[in-house]
């Protein structure tokens, strides 16, 4: 009988202990600082991050293949830079998946703690009583008056009580096993998270090395790039707001396209006195049409994250949004929405650091809220080229898309 009491006391004592190791619990609490409000939000965030990881992995693989096939050194470096940016976004998404899973484990652990907490005190008292009784040798009962009769009575009571106690503690033992499984799962996720963070740091260092090479090459070119940057900074000083800056850059871009479409200079004839003007050889620009413009090639969101504000939404001040706002993780990699040319890159009042990219077909994209920009005015960006990074503590990245100065909903033009 005493052996059976001991077998019951052991699982009951285990309930009174913490299910998670202290170090695992503290790490889980640290990782779940930015927890979502409910489980559905966490699961949705995990699904979004998994999709983003899949897309980034496919993009990185494609860009790595293009870099290997590139013949010119400049194109190879540009493709490698874009491929690393895609791999960084893939790793960031994998980290987001791991953090979401940790949040789910933390919620399950807290719910388990709450259930066990309600039963902990009575179980501790019952455990102590059973353990004390199990340590009392039966032979000592002979020396106490009435103890034999009491022992026989207690034995009869325990014969009917022990099966009931076992039945009621079966669910508790199952929850203890569940807690141990949660602990092992948490340890596995934490180990995977540490590996992903190391991989992210390595890829960021590799990208920084390539960007340093690109900046050195840009300095050697000098000249025209410096003049373009000076003009862009002058536009920023003259513009009253962000719309004014985009309008000035659009006007400059339109003028540049018109000049590029003009016929080249006519060579001076050998005998000017005998030269005759040719008739009807001037080239006119094609007239504007009402047909819908084609979307920018391979348009994508500049950063992965939740959409906090949609196109056309109205804020508390009554101002209508001309783009979307995306919640980015701390230090997240930001890439160009589509291939194009950098028309502006730098700080602008009230919007942090911004990048304006001109795309073929009269499109312009605007990315705001960057903590650092890694491109210069005049740079030609390939598909997925890195623009910069989000603030270290996270923040909102703005994304606007315009055609001829008119705002367009970026979500309507994303590549499928």
From CA 191, how far away is CA 177, in angstroms rounded? 21
**Coil, helix or strand for 99?**
helix
What value, to the nearest 5°, has the Cα angle with vertex 273 and ends 272 and 278?
A: 70
What is the pTM (predicted TM-score) of this model?
Answer: 0.71
Query: How would you class 303 by CB atoms within 10 Å of its CB: exposed for 0-12, middle for 13-18, buried for 19 or more?
Result: buried
pLDDT at 365: 94
How many residues comprise the chain? 416
Among candidates 392, 412, 214, which has minimal Cα distance to 296?
A: 412
Among the four given CATH numbers 2.70.70.10, 1.25.40.10, 3.30.465.10, 1.10.3860.10, the one describing domain 224-259+296-416 = 2.70.70.10
Cα separation, 359 vs 297, whole angstroms: 9
**What does the pLDDT read at residue 355?**
95
Give the CA angle between residues 356, 361, 365 to the nearest 5°. 20
- The residues facing 403 across adjacent strands are 363, 406
Closest CA to 381 of 365, 403, 399: 365
What's the confidence (pLDDT) of residue 150? 60
Per-residue confidence (pLDDT) for residue 211, from 0 to 100 = 81
pLDDT computed for residue 289 by the predictor? 45
Segments making up each domain of the chain, as ranges: 2-220, 224-259+296-416
Contact 351, 395 (CB under 8 A): no
Predicted confidence (pLDDT) per residue in 29-69, tens digit = 555 445 566 788 888 889 999 999 999 999 999 999 998 98
As given in the structure block, the two tokens for residue 192 are 């995977």
For residues 167 and 161, give the distance between their C-alpha atoms in angstroms, rounded to a whole number: 10
Which pLDDT value is given to residue 97? Answer: 92
What is residue 59's DSSP assignment?
H
Which residues of the chain carry a pLDDT beneath 70? 1-37, 118-169, 171, 216-227, 233, 238, 240, 252-293, 416
Supply the pLDDT for residue 113. 78
CA 387, CA 237: separation in Å to the nearest integer? 22
pLDDT in tens, 71-117: 888 888 889 999 999 999 999 999 999 999 988 888 888 888 777 77
Q: What pLDDT does residue 146 have?
A: 55
* pLDDT at res. 130: 57
């Amino acid at each position: 009988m005493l052996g059976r009491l001991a077998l019951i006391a052991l699982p009951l004592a285990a309930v009174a202990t913490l299910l998670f190791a202290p170090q695992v619990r503290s790490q889980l609490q640290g990782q779940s600082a930015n927890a979502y409000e409910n489980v559905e939000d966490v699961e949705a965030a995990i699904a979004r991050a998994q999709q983003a990881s899949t897309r980034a992995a496919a993009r990185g693989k494609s860009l790595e293949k293009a870099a290997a096939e590139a013949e010119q050194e400049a194109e190879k470096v540009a493709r490698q830079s874009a491929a690393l940016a895609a791999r960084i976004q893939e790793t960031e998404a994998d980290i987001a998946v791991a953090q979401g899973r940790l949040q789910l484990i933390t919620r399950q652990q807290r719910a388990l703690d709450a259930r066990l907490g309600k039963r902990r005190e009575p179980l501790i008292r019952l455990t102590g009583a059973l353990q004390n009784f199990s340590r009392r040798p039966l032979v000592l009962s002979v020396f106490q008056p009435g103890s034999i009769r009491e022992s026989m009575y207690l034995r009869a009571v325990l014969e009917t009580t022990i099966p009931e106690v076992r039945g009621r503690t079966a669910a508790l033992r199952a929850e203890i096993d569940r807690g141990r499984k949660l602990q092992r799962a948490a340890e596995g996720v934490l180990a995977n998270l540490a590996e992903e963070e190391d991989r992210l740091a390595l890829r960021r260092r590799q990208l920084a090395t390539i960007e340093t090479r690109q900046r050195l090459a840009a300095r050697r070119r000098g000249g025209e790039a410096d003049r373009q940057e000076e003009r862009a900074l002058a536009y920023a000083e003259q513009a009253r707001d962000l719309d004014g800056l985009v309008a000035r850059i659009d006007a400059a871009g339109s003028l540049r396209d018109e000049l590029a479409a003009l016929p080249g200079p006519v060579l001076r004839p050998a005998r000017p006195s005998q030269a005759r003007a040719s008739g009807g050889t001037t080239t006119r620009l094609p007239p504007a049409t009402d047909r819908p413009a084609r979307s920018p090639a391979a348009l994508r969101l500049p950063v992965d994250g939740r959409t906090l504000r949609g196109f056309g939404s109205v804020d508390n001040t009554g101002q209508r949004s001309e783009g979307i706002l995306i919640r980015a993780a701390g230090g997240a990699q930001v890439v160009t929405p589509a291939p194009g040319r950098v028309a502006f890159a730098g700080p602008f009042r009230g919007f942090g650091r911004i990048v304006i990219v001109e795309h073929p077909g009269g499109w312009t994209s605007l990315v705001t809220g960057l903590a650092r920009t890694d491109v210069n005015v005049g740079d030609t960006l390939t598909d997925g080229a890195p623009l910069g990074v989000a603030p270290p503590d996270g923040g909102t990245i703005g994304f606007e898309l315009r055609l001829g100065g008119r705002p367009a909903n970026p979500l309507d033009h994303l590549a499928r």
